[in-house]
Amino acid sequence: MRRLIKRWPGLAVGATALITVGTTGSAWADSTGAEFIPATLEGSDVSFNLLWIVIGAMLVIFMQAGFALVETGFCRAKHAAHVISTNFAIFGIGFVAYFLVGFGIMFGGYTATIGADAVPVIGTYLEPIGRYLINIPGFGALFAWAAPALGGAGYDVGVMAFFLYLAAFMDTVATIPTGSMAERWKWKSFVGWGFFCGALYYPLFGLWTWGGGWLSQLGNNFGLGKGYVDFAGSGVVHAMGGVAALAGAIVLGPRIGKFGKDGKPRVLAGHHIPMAMLGTFILLFGWFGFNAASTFAATDPRFAVVAANTAIAAAFGATVGMLWVMKRTGKPDPGMMANGMLGGLVAITAPCAFVPPWAAALIGTIAGVLVIESIWFVERKGIDDPVGAISVHGVCGSFGVIALGLFADGKYGAGWNATGDALGENASTGVTGLFFGDGGQLVAQVLGVVVIWTVMLGIAFAFFKIQNAVTKGGIRSDEADEIAGLDLPEMGVLAYPEFLDTPSAIDRPATSPPPVVEPAH
Amino acid sequence: MRRLIKRWPGLAVGATALITVGTTGSAWADSTGAEFIPATLEGSDVSFNLLWIVIGAMLVIFMQAGFALVETGFCRAKHAAHVISTNFAIFGIGFVAYFLVGFGIMFGGYTATIGADAVPVIGTYLEPIGRYLINIPGFGALFAWAAPALGGAGYDVGVMAFFLYLAAFMDTVATIPTGSMAERWKWKSFVGWGFFCGALYYPLFGLWTWGGGWLSQLGNNFGLGKGYVDFAGSGVVHAMGGVAALAGAIVLGPRIGKFGKDGKPRVLAGHHIPMAMLGTFILLFGWFGFNAASTFAATDPRFAVVAANTAIAAAFGATVGMLWVMKRTGKPDPGMMANGMLGGLVAITAPCAFVPPWAAALIGTIAGVLVIESIWFVERKGIDDPVGAISVHGVCGSFGVIALGLFADGKYGAGWNATGDALGENASTGVTGLFFGDGGQLVAQVLGVVVIWTVMLGIAFAFFKIQNAVTKGGIRSDEADEIAGLDLPEMGVLAYPEFLDTPSAIDRPATSPPPVVEPAH
Amino acid sequence: MRRLIKRWPGLAVGATALITVGTTGSAWADSTGAEFIPATLEGSDVSFNLLWIVIGAMLVIFMQAGFALVETGFCRAKHAAHVISTNFAIFGIGFVAYFLVGFGIMFGGYTATIGADAVPVIGTYLEPIGRYLINIPGFGALFAWAAPALGGAGYDVGVMAFFLYLAAFMDTVATIPTGSMAERWKWKSFVGWGFFCGALYYPLFGLWTWGGGWLSQLGNNFGLGKGYVDFAGSGVVHAMGGVAALAGAIVLGPRIGKFGKDGKPRVLAGHHIPMAMLGTFILLFGWFGFNAASTFAATDPRFAVVAANTAIAAAFGATVGMLWVMKRTGKPDPGMMANGMLGGLVAITAPCAFVPPWAAALIGTIAGVLVIESIWFVERKGIDDPVGAISVHGVCGSFGVIALGLFADGKYGAGWNATGDALGENASTGVTGLFFGDGGQLVAQVLGVVVIWTVMLGIAFAFFKIQNAVTKGGIRSDEADEIAGLDLPEMGVLAYPEFLDTPSAIDRPATSPPPVVEPAH
């Protein structure tokens, strides 16, 4: 997505048909990969580009383990089997929904949006099965549709690699609310969210941005830079997950005991700090696939800048977060350090390909402070987010989208979103932010963030509200179950039947809680 | 293995000598990688293909961590150091045996089986040191032998990458019985199994299938499709491990307390659900290396289909498994969800390269149900398999082999196992299952499964029986040790000396067990 | 580094400017990766080589999780949040220091040391900003300097990939002392070490070896083989970390209770064996990136030899370590098995590219015994190293450097360290150790080890001594904090507030310790 026309042979990654364009290709008529790509440079490049996407997809899928551990470690032991199981099950639930429905929506209308003169790209394969429910000419698809995308013409190595990578991104969106809604969410209600997110929620905003839809066309249609640009999804993935996390947390309400009678927040301490730290490391590791493989091309060496920027933002986010929480509370709270790194990672995800290293350091620095202050802010507002998902993904994701509009230096991304003379080389400069001279790009970015925090937040809120209304007893667990811990009543097992095996151990509140980690203000 | 002749330059992966065939190659006379490959397209392709194998090997080796965590998490805390240590030690024990003996057996006789007109492939390097104990002309090697394969001519970049990848697969076979035999297996007896598996058990069936032996030649000799086909080892690895797990579990007998006086199974609850879930995620991650890198070629873009099919089967297996166990017991048991995903992964391992995405979804769906019903069936038969290894690997592995014989669509695998006009392109159609018109392929697959469940199960059973007879006191731990937990008596340490530090905590049975997760039938 | 001139196009990895040398390159004037590399074989090769470095960097960064888990698992629960947090925070702290200062020191003076006729390599970009504090003509830089390296000319895809990879190596050095100094180190003092290591400690020895400095020039200047050779850092990374770990452990002194009144060591048992084992597996996994990606080139198939040798040494180290500890104590102590594998991995890190597989097996075998005996030796000397970091990294790392000087077979590494006719092919034989005829190489290796154990150990010791003197109360935690556990007083949280939640559980010493694992001599 991102820049689906111009990038050749990078684009060829998701476009195996290009082989037959670029070469005689007689031996490779079957794009299912049945025959070897002919031994040409273009053939090898396409195959290696596909490999980079597949490696990236593996890494992003492995991030599910990271989310699972972070969320479980920062929750309490009596809910641990429930929390880890939501993070486990979401992989399959969201994936199945995206396979059956979501992918077709997100990319089913693709070619329509990039014009009739487009070179054959991934959309070509989906085009014959694409249907446009609402397609405003010259503006792009609002709603698209495709039959289950991986049958028929979608049985193509390019489409399948692309599907796998995008499905992994979808699962990240879907898993974020399991953090903010942890410890009080009914299993069956959670399952419903998983299908909704994979089938509709992510694909809709995905269509508008990466699928060639109207936000991606803000440049072509209104002269706003290259349109909404989001390299690997600070907005499309993380802010999208973050606002859903906010909606869910509001609908569920805070956990029993989170806020005292005076309305002040209490610490419900995470039960396993090493688990949460391991999860953070796994996320850092997987994030290189998330960001760097979003070049879609091993032949696009910009992945090196992306990978380094990702690590730089993570390092500055973690270190500045550590210093900030020490300054504010006197202690290097492990949870805040972890969230500092994650905030840096989320924030660099959109701009990672477009900014110089010093800007990555600055973005990480800002995110490291922002995420901590935001966690305290959310808590002060009476919203209970056990793992800080709203702040990490929603707030830092939105900051990342805007940071692109500020710091993009114009070196990379010429022709993005099919802007300008899309088929010519050097047709225009790269994506350029306000500080490098293009205020229009910033406007497009802000617009994307506004849509996420209004339309998409509204959709997520409506989903949880409606689900809450139509579900017998609502989507929140029974009070007795929550107090006892969700593990036995919801999952049928205890996470640790031998470490906490007395009934009193299960339902007691954490005694002698650690000092509240609050700013000394 | 798989298709060692036809695939060029894919084959070149394990065949660096091809460089000197395909190019003037004067600068690269030394296949140890001492000199750079000349800057030709063939040279680059070979190097990148080798890289894909090495990356795949890393991922498969990392799967050892997944097995270790799944098995340890689903066992009890008093045995945790023992269980994790068997999974740790098996990596080295099996590897050393395979390095010294097994690799030579499995591939030592390779060239003999593919004929004198073979292009130089990996076997060429081993050929001079290959010895055939029994080689039936026109039928293939039954027993082959090679001196330690990595000295002399085996000191070649292609051979070493290939060795590393295959050794990692061997370790998967070797580690599977540590699950079914957990909590009651003497350490020294376990060490004996590790050497046996790496030196003989895996290499024997490996020779018959991937090493060019008689099962691989069922196509050439008896017209049964392409002969036994198993892309990444549903049979050669997983079912092989699964039947050894069955044999070991029978010889050891059930754990003390597993079956009540009425013969009904009791739940001996796993002590750490998040640990087991993390292990499952690591297995999913590593499985992409297991399956997708089995193309042996970065220039064979079919890896994209393989990777996507792998994820599809995993997602459907996990989701359908969740729904099935909810329907049968009312709860989304975390262990069953994990086994649903693993069942899907095991089942897709053989057919992943040969079936369309919808078939991957169907195979995952069937495996998700099959694994759960099989676990209950094994338990009802009075066999104690603490982690479900027999069902996950033995049953779903066998199903996967057969599923290939049903769903292979003929798009991929022309010339597999050196069938047909092996050196020509497009000499024949790909691997084709019953539903796409070739019942012979299904017969070859069923034959492979039958051999695993008769010959190989018999060999494993005989090994454990003989070992049991010649070991003083047998291969099962002392009863007192088992009751107290194997950690202190066998390993000399406790897994968690501070969480369960009172003597009573160590030797007590789990009190107030969670509700039995059994179907309500 | 290593061999920065000769290796072409491998070298091109870190040297994107070569593209414009090797091709017309008109479309790729901007080395920031803004434009696609032209579709030439050289262009594709460079991009894939960069990709291999980036993948390697990811893997090495993931090793931080391995170190964190090994160290935390082998420490006690009351310090677990502190130990894991040091391992977490060091990633960012060291990285920031290396980004701002260290990278410039290590490679800022690069081109000066390889002569004016050098082809444009990575140093070219740094050269304009390089400053040489002390540069002895014909001998190399002792101290170099560069302004923050990633601004200006350093904003290049080659430089950024190279920076990322080297930064990950630096973090390994920095994290090693967190093991030997665990359970008694003040947080703020630890933070100081992190900045010092990333800014000065690692870059200094890095400059002398990989940065083209005087140790690397021992061949050119004194005829000692190819000069100091260290493929992936047995010395530059591991021994460097190990001697710092020794210095720190001496300055801190042993933990309270480690040595009895009779001076004999007591076992302070690790609190979580599965955690430590998982960490070891993660290290094994990441080590493939550490070693194999140090070819800096996907076009240099020697990575296959490197990867296989790495696994072989790990397998032999673990297995021989297991057998050795069983022979000496009667039990397969899990900690010793893990350290056996890690010892093998550390030892093979320098020689992995230069030795045949049988030598890798031998090196692993020796390391598996050496590490265990060394751990007991260090303990007998009254030095408390909770996780064995001094032995694993310091001793086995030094052994690895020397093993290269013994077993290197001359097949690989011609022209290393810009020796001989550096720009010609086949100018000389590869790196050759004593057993293959070049005693001079062994002398260079021994010299490197001597410098590490004198100069660098002295610098680390001085750092900790001075820091101890200028820090109020010294760098060691308060006695009361250490007894209670560092988690609450230093971090503000408990690692496991629910598993060990009574005050008595927190401050009690481990009761009924497991049998002392000591040799029966």
Q: What is the pLDDT of residues C427-456, one digit of tens each?
A: 568 999 999 999 999 999 999 999 999 999
State the Cα–Cα distance between residues C199 and A460, nearest whole angstrom.
47
Predicted local distance difference test score (pLDDT) of residue A180:
97
Write out pLDDT tens, residues A38-60.
467 777 888 888 899 999 999 99
What pLDDT sits at residue A121? 35
pLDDT at C109: 56
From chain B, the residues in CB contact with A88 under 8 A are: 277, 280-281, 318, 334, 337-338
Pick from C32, C35, C39: CB nearest A9: C39
Q: What's the pLDDT at B414?
A: 86
Q: Are A388 and A339 in contact (CB under 8 A)?
A: yes
Percent share of chain C, pLDDT over 90: 65
B contact test, residue of A31, A44, A271 with most B CBs within 10 A: A44
User: DSSP letters of A118-184?
Assistant: PPP-HHHHHGGGEEEEEEETTTEEEEEEES-TTSGGG-SHHHHHHHHHHHHHHHHHHHTHHHHTTTS
Interface of B with C in 252-281 (CB under 8 A): 272, 275
Q: Distance from C39 to chain A by nearest Cα, in Å?
A: 8
Q: Contact, A134 vs A95, CB < 8 A?
A: no
> Which residues make beta-bridge pairs with A146?
A130
pLDDT tens-digit series, residues A355-388: 999 999 999 999 999 999 999 999 999 999 999 9
Report the range of poorest mean pLDDT among A24-33, B127-136, C201-210.
Answer: A24-33
Dihedral sign, CA of C117, C121, C125, C131? negative
Chain B residues touching A55 at Cβ < 8 A:
55
State the pLDDT confidence band at C53, using cuts at 50, 70 and 90. Answer: very high
The better pLDDT of the pair A234, A146 is held by A234
- Closest Cα in chain A to B46: A44
Q: Which of A270, A499, A515 sits opposite C492 (nearest CB)?
A: A515
- Tell me, what's the pLDDT at C134? 61
pLDDT at A111: 44
Q: Which residue has the tokens 């707030």?
A: A395
Higher-confidence residue: B41 or A509? B41
Closest by Cα among B65, B84, B486 to B281: B65
Q: Does C19 touch chain A (CB under 8 A)?
A: no
SS3 category, B260: coil
From C272's Cα to the closest Cα of chain B, the distance in A is 5
pLDDT of residue A418: 75
SS3 state at B135: strand
Query: Per the CB < 8 Å rule, is C299 touching B40?
Result: no
Phi-psi region of A206 (alpha: psi -120 to 50; beta: other; left: phi over 0): alpha
Q: Mean pLDDT across chain A, nearest whole number?
A: 83
Distance from CA of B278 to the nearest CA of A (A): 6
Q: What is the pLDDT of residue A241?
A: 98
Of A41, A273, A307, the CB nearest to C493: A273
Angle between helices B157-175 and C302-329 (to 10 degrees): 40
Chain A CB contacts of B337 below 8 Å: 85, 88-89
- Which residues of chain A make contact with C490, given a CB cutoff of 8 A? 331-332
pLDDT score, position C47: 85
pLDDT of A330 > 70? The answer is yes
Determine the pLDDT at residue A30. 56
A142 to chain B, closest Cα gap in Å: 28
A285 touches chain C (CB under 8 A): yes
Distance (Å) from the alpha carbon of B512 to chain C's nearest alpha carbon: 19
Give the pLDDT of residue B140. 60
pLDDT reported for residue C143: 59
C 159-218 residues with CB below 8 A of A? 160-161, 163-164, 167, 187, 191
Of B404 and C514, the one with more pLDDT: B404
pLDDT cut 70: percent of chain A above it: 78
pLDDT at C250 exceeding the cut of 90: yes
Q: How far apart are the first and last CA of chain B?
A: 46
B347: left (phi over 0), alpha (psi -120 to 50) or beta: alpha
pLDDT of residue B27: 32
* Interface contact A58-B322, CB threshold 8 A: no
Q: Do C273 and B80 touch (CB under 8 A)?
A: yes
Task: Give the H or E element holding residue B447.
Answer: helix B439-451
More confident residue, C368 or A516: C368
- pLDDT of C24 reads 30
3-state secondary structure of C131: strand
Q: Please check whether residue C301 touches A, CB under 8 A.
A: no
Would the pLDDT of C425 be above 50? Answer: no
Give pLDDT tens digits for A308-322: 999 999 999 999 999
Strand bridging mode A130-136 / A140-146:
antiparallel
Average pLDDT over residues A182-208: 96
User: pLDDT above 70 covers what percent of chain C?
Assistant: 78
Neighbours of B, requiring at least 3 CB pairs below 8 Å, are A, C
Per-residue pLDDT for A507 more than 60? no
Q: How confident is the model at residue A112 (pLDDT cuts 50, 70, 90)?
A: very low
Of A62, A92, A155, the CB nearest to B341: A92
- Chain A residue with the nearest C-alpha to that of B496: A499
> CB distance from A322 to chain C under 8 Å?
yes
* pLDDT band at residue C268 using 50, 70 and 90 as cut-offs: very high
Instruction: Quote the minimal CA–CA distance from C56 to chain B in Å.
Output: 10
Half-sphere exposure in the Cβ direction for C225 (13 Å, CA) = 33
* Option in B281, B510, B513 nearest A68 (CB): B281
Q: Residue B154: its pLDDT value, please?
A: 66
Stronger pLDDT, C8 or C295, i.e. the higher one: C295
**Contact state of A337 with C65 under an 8 Å Cβ cutoff:** no
Per-window interface: A 328-347 vs C, CB < 8 A: 329-335, 337-338, 341
- Considering only CB atoms, C271 lies closest to which of B30, B39, B498, namely B498
How does DSSP assign B176-231, residue by residue?
Answer: THHHHTTTSB-HHHHHHHHHHIIIIIHHHHHHHHTTS-TTTTHHHHH--BTBS--S
Which pLDDT does position A324 carry in this prediction?
A: 98
Taking every pair of C-alpha atoms in chain A, what is the biggest distance, in angstroms?
76
pLDDT, tens digit, 9 for 90 and up, residues C357-416: 999 999 999 999 999 999 999 999 999 999 999 999 999 999 999 999 999 999 898 888
Q: Token pair for residue C225?
A: 């083989």
Q: Tell me the Ramachandran region of residue C255: left when phi exceeds 0, alpha when psi lies from -120 to 50, beta otherwise.
A: beta
Q: What is the ipTM of this complex?
A: 0.90
Q: What is the pLDDT of residue B152?
A: 59
Q: Name chain C contacts of A414, Cβ cutoff 8 Å.
A: 34
The answer to whether B396 and B367 are in contact (CB under 8 A) is: yes
Cβ atoms of B228 and B218 within 8 Å: the answer is yes
**Distance between CA A499 and CA A271 in Å, rounded?**
12
- Helices A357-380 and A334-349: angle between axes, nearest 10 degrees: 120
Query: Where does the pLDDT of residue A132 fall: very low under 50, low under 70, confident under 90, or very high at 90 and above?
Result: low
Any chain C CB within 8 A of the CB of B69? Answer: yes
Q: What is the mean pLDDT of residues C488-498?
A: 95
| Chains touching C, CB cut-off 8 Å, 3+ pairs | A, B
**Cβ contacts of B50 on chain C, cutoff 8 Å:** 301, 303-304
Distance between A387 CA and the closest CA of chain B, angstroms: 17
β-bridge mates for residue C265, sequence order: C259
Q: pLDDT truncated to tens, each residue of chain B (521 aa)?
A: 333 433 222 232 233 333 332 333 333 445 666 544 546 777 788 888 889 999 999 999 999 999 999 999 999 999 999 999 999 999 999 999 998 888 888 876 554 333 333 333 344 444 444 455 565 655 566 556 554 455 555 677 888 888 899 999 999 999 999 999 999 999 999 999 999 999 999 999 998 998 878 898 898 889 999 999 999 999 999 999 999 999 999 999 999 999 999 889 999 999 999 999 999 999 999 999 999 999 988 888 899 999 999 999 999 999 999 999 999 999 999 999 999 999 999 999 999 999 999 999 999 999 999 999 999 999 999 999 999 999 999 999 999 999 999 999 998 988 888 776 444 444 568 999 999 999 999 999 999 999 999 999 999 999 999 999 999 999 999 999 999 999 999 999 999 999 864 443 444 343 333 344 555 45
Segment A164-193 shows an average pLDDT of: 97
| pLDDT score, position C168 | 97
Minimum distance, in Å, between the CA of residue B78 and any CA atom of chain C: 12
- Residue carrying the six token digits 């996950």: B392
Q: In this predicted model, what pLDDT tens digit does every residue of A252-276 receive, in sequence order?
A: 999 999 999 988 999 999 999 999 9
Mutant choice from A78, A267, A302, A309 vs C, greatest count of C C-beta within 10 A: A302
Higher pLDDT, C234 or B505: C234
